[in-house]
Amino acid sequence: MPELTYREAVRDALARALREDDGVFLMGEDIAEMGGSMAVTQGLLEEFGPQRIRNTPISEMAIVGSGIGAALQGMRPVVEIMYEDFLTLSMEQLVNQAAKHRTMSGGQLKVPLTVRTQGGAGWSPGAQHAQQLEAWFVHVPGLKVVFASTPEDVRGLLWSSIYDDNPVVFFEHRTLYPIKGEVPEELEPIPLGKARVHREGTDVTVVATGRLVHESLAAAEQAEADGISVEVVDPRTLLPLDEETIVESVKKTTRCVTAHEAVTRGGFGAELAAVIQHGAFDYLDAPIERVGSKFAPLPFAPVMEQHVVPHAADVLEAIKKTVARA
């Protein structure tokens, strides 16, 4: 199987969709000649030309708004919001328009729009360029929300998002772009709403998203050395959520840790905890532990940033808490 970086996997999915379907086109800030601020769209302008790889003015509201218009007209636009922090500027379009048209029109309209964006700490981007805001969108009926953590997943899920007839907010993580992983020769679409069990275990389930999937896998290795068997599950799609896989896993292990880089309070882990306590109440042998960033704007200073965001050690500590004796 070929090996791709996460960045190349995103690019591969985009290029294949652009080749497959004339209705697919890209819009975003500096995505054409410059290849995007994260170099994801490099080389696409050369292959597909300026009609389909379009630079936009610096207006997130206009980027998403025009994407909605094109989607309503039958195109499958993929728009890029350079940093997910800037999604805040497009909230009106995403929340009040994209998410609502299909139901408000009684199904006469549909919005097959994909909004790609990225975020995440670990490289001192400061408080306004590294937030993890995925939980905001999970609260909005009419949207789908994806957060992929591996090259294989990001490619298969992006393909499915582009071909989904609903608006999808597609989160990528800045620090995952260089990681490498095997992907199938042929692109295999990964259905939205299907979790992935990365590692099987019997003592505690860690439900993790984004970068924390990798931190959790590292924590699981360390826990193994202490005789604790950890199962790691990545929901991959936050909305719709594969509740069954997650609940069944916790029923098996009887303990659970949720882990994401977003701040803990009001984070997606809270939703997971609610789903799990309801679905697996009689199976829980310990309170569900949540791992996330400390409740603070992300500091610029590297040492402070490292202090605020969670790492494998935090996941390991939470794992140990769930299996703790007195």
Applying CB under 8 A, the residues found at the interface with another protein are: 254, 281-286, 321, 324-326
Nearer Cβ to another protein, position 16 or 252?
252
Cis omega (within 30 of 0) on the bond before 178? no
Least separation, in Å, of the C-beta of 286 and another protein? 6
Residue 127: strand pairing partners: none
Q: How far apart are CA 78 and CA 115, in angstroms?
A: 6
Which listed residue (129, 173, 198, 214) is catalytic?
129
Which listed residue (60, 172, 289, 305) is catalytic?
60
Nearer Cβ to another protein, position 173 or 255?
255
Least separation, in Å, of the C-beta of 283 and another protein? 5
Nearer Cβ to another protein, position 69 or 279?
279
Least separation, in Å, of the C-beta of 277 and another protein? 8
Cβ neighbourhood burial of 66 (10 Å; 0-12, 13-18, 19+): middle
Assign 3-class secondary structure to the chain.
CCEEEHHHHHHHHHHHHHHHCCCEEEEECCCCCCCCCCCCCCCHHHHHCCCCEEECCCCHHHHHHHHHHHHHCCCEEEEEECCHHHHHHHHHHHHHHHCCHHHHCCCCCCCCCEEEEEECCCCCCCCCCCCCCHHHHHCCCCCEEEECCCHHHHHHHHHHHHCCCCCEEEEEEHHHCCCEEECCCCCCCCCCCCCEEEECCCCEEEEECCHHHHHHHHHHHHHHHCCCCEEEEECCEEECCCHHHHHHHHHHHCCEEEEEEEECCCCHHHHHHHHHHHHCHHHCCCCCEEEEECCCCCCCCHHHHHHHCCCHHHHHHHHHHHCCCC
Q: What is the largest CA-CA distance in the chain?
A: 65
Least separation, in Å, of the C-beta of 285 and another protein? 4
Nearer Cβ to another protein, position 74 or 227?
227
Cβ neighbourhood burial of 106 (10 Å; 0-12, 13-18, 19+): exposed
Told to judge if 60 belongs to the known catalytic residues of this protein, a careful annotator would answer yes
Least separation, in Å, of the C-beta of 265 and another protein? 22
Least separation, in Å, of the C-beta of 99 and another protein? 36
Least separation, in Å, of the C-beta of 251 and another protein? 10
Could you list the active site residues?
A: 60, 129
